[in-house]
Amino acid sequence: MAQKTSEKKYWARSACPYDCPDACGLLIETDGKEIFCVKGDDRHPVTRGFICQKMAHYEQTVHHKDRILYPMKRTGRKGEGAFVRISWDEAVDEICTRWKALIRDYGGECILPYSYAGAESLIQNKCGEGFFNRLGASKLIRSICSKAKGAGFAQAYGDTPGIFVNDIPESDFILIWGCNIKATWLHASAKVVEARKKGSHVVIVDTYETPSAPLAHETFCVRPGSDGALALSMACVLKAAGLIDRDFLKEYAPGFEHFLDTLDDYTPEWAGPVTGIAPERIRALALAYGRAKAPLIIFGSGYSRHTNGAINTRCISALPALTGAFKKKGGGYLGNINSKGAFNTDRLTRPDWDDPRIRSINMNQLGQALANRQSPVYSLYVYNSNPANVAPGQRQVLEGLSREDLFTVVHERFMTDTARYADILLPADTSVEHGDLITPYGSLCIQAIFPVIRPLGECRSNWDTFCLLAKGMGFKEDIWDLSNEDLLEEMIREPNPWRQQWDEESREAFAHGMGVVLPLPDPLDFKTENKKIRLYTPDLSEPVPAYRPNKSMRATCLGKNDWLALVVAPAMETLNTTFTEREALCLRRGEAALKMNLKDAADRGIKDGDPITVYNDLASVSLKAKVSEKVPEGTVVAEGIYPTASMPGLFGINALLSQDLSDSGEAATLSDNAVKVVPY
């Protein structure tokens, strides 16, 4: 789409590629060489012209003076950030020469890719998987965010996506669980506001009063990791009050009686001490939910970032099944959406090149992998991520990145903490400099985007970079001759059963770069093997949803010797370490701080704004105290991830996070840690 506004400038249609459920439609003012203004696309069927403060001035990111524009080679110590400019030919030759030697001496498994959701657009996110399968490198288990939640949903509902986000206002009772929705799902937040205006009752369940709390009529602050106990206690109340829809369960949840038989012990009186919520409040919440005509649960991921994260999901997701909430428009759940099925991702991931004998390494245990001298990683290739800041166990990660025998390549836009450890630093382009496919996880609205401007300097997309490296490695397959835009066109042209259900108008709109909603599934068409909800699954180690306390060693010390539960949460102004190049956003976010309860602070002689030391057996971090009545006693909260250069000490908050994994999904346990806090 190109709408001329003057002789030189015009508006081009695009979309946000970042790690957010919304994937907002964008309109970009450009002359084909530069972008001048970014605004929301009012014709986008979900986001409808409204975008967040981060993307509102995306031109400041694209044209930032600190963009990495050319390949560079390290000249100083690792972590120092000293580089000299080189050519792409030199960079590719250096990388491929080193890799060929490493593969000859140690095998391809000594090379490890590391990526995640720095770009959520389909090609840039997935294309490296095929390249590294072809290379024979170690496989990365990408599970740092919500894989425990995904595993829990899969065990109960398979791939059932839940309701369409635009149907939120049809619900008369909305329960937002483990989600700071204003920070992480802005357009769902707007729909909640719309629902509330129509009379819907809104409740938030979280570990503290997040900035989203004003959206709700009330907030329930649970002890970290106890969400499953609250859900089961609500189920117990529903059963006792006769609010179970047994007719629905008989038709859609065979074996449900096995689950109902376990509920009597989960009384509100039992759950009160576990969750920190008074029994009468639990009972009132359950009755309000059970009596609603179209109750909706909006799932975040915060509650699942524990060693019991997957079974917590099963417990919470049982509630809409018990009440038959799926029968009414706006009822059920929202938070298990995957629109990638609209395209054949095998073109990108190449499962035909996947050797099952090759080892897998969990991205949450990068520090352990880099410290493993029995089966070493000798080369690390980082794209779409900044593990020096975001990976758990930061202290061990930085020690690993400092190894002189680790050959590190980083493909990046800015000099992140990880980029400073690179041996070869490659310049990455932005979403307006290449084409891609937008397949969000917050709705079923997909979009094709096309280049708005040519790449700045010598920046290249992920796909074009992997094609260069493939040729440098001597790979002969024809696919490496395709440009990024060639690949995009092929994927669009390839028939897909889901997209083929569109009418001609929708197909035409999609071809012209507009956001188009995929055909919505029947809410009662559950995407499991037998088309039924699995409240009872005898082949699982836990056949029915049950409460299981955290297993983390750090969780076991809570309540003893002044230990506090550490919750890490998103910031409103940035997205992990993305957008930290933007000074205005960072100023608005403020300096790194630890939110703590008034009594916890007073007991330790700490006042608001005091410098503090936060520590456990993993590391010690310096922060400022932010004393707040919005944080329950026994819990402390750190919002946002900060570059180490902005921290008073050597490390950021992730140095305090263990590399333990969840019960299913091999996910990070980012909020399953404990710390002590003392004045600095």
376-413: pLDDT as tens digits: 999 999 999 999 999 999 999 999 999 999 999 999 99
Each residue's pLDDT tens digit, 1-42 = 445 555 699 999 999 999 999 999 999 999 999 999 999 999
Interval 483-504 mean pLDDT: 96
Confidence category of residue 649, pLDDT binned at 50, 70, 90: confident
Rounded-to-integer distance, Cα 619 and Cα 616, Å: 6
Rounded-to-integer distance, Cα 501 and Cα 498, Å: 6
Tokens of 55: 């993307």
- Look at strands 201-206 and 218-221 and give their pairing: parallel
Q: Which candidate, 61, 103, 87, places its Cα nearest to that of 424?
A: 87
Average pLDDT, the chain: 96
**What is the pLDDT, as a whole number, of residue 550?**
87
Contact 210, 242 (CB under 8 A): no
**What is the pLDDT, as a whole number, of residue 561?**
77
Rounded-to-integer distance, Cα 72 and Cα 62, Å: 19
**What is the pLDDT, as a whole number, of residue 551?**
80
Interval 305-332 mean pLDDT: 97
C-alpha distances in Å from residue 528, one per residue of 298, 321, 541? 21, 14, 19
Tokens of 263: 């509920």
Contact 411, 380 (CB under 8 A): no
**What is the pLDDT, as a whole number, of residue 1?**
46
Rounded-to-integer distance, Cα 148 and Cα 606, Å: 36
Interval 219-223 mean pLDDT: 97
Type and span of the H or E element at 102 = helix 88-106
> Which residues pair with residue 219 across a beta bridge?
204
Query: Could you identify the residue written with the tokens 């399968």?
Result: 133
Interval 82-111 mean pLDDT: 98
Q: Does residue 243 have a pLDDT over 70?
A: yes
Give the DSSP letter string of 442-481: SSSEEEEE--SSPPSTT-B-HHHHHHHHHHHTT---GGGG
State how far Cα 330 lies from the chain centre: 24
Rounded-to-integer distance, Cα 204 and Cα 221, Å: 8
Please name the residue ranges forming H helices in 558-607: 583-589, 598-603
Which parts of 363-455 are beta strand (E)?
A: 379-383, 407-412, 424-427, 436-438, 445-449
Number of CB atoms found within 10 A of residue 466's CB = 25
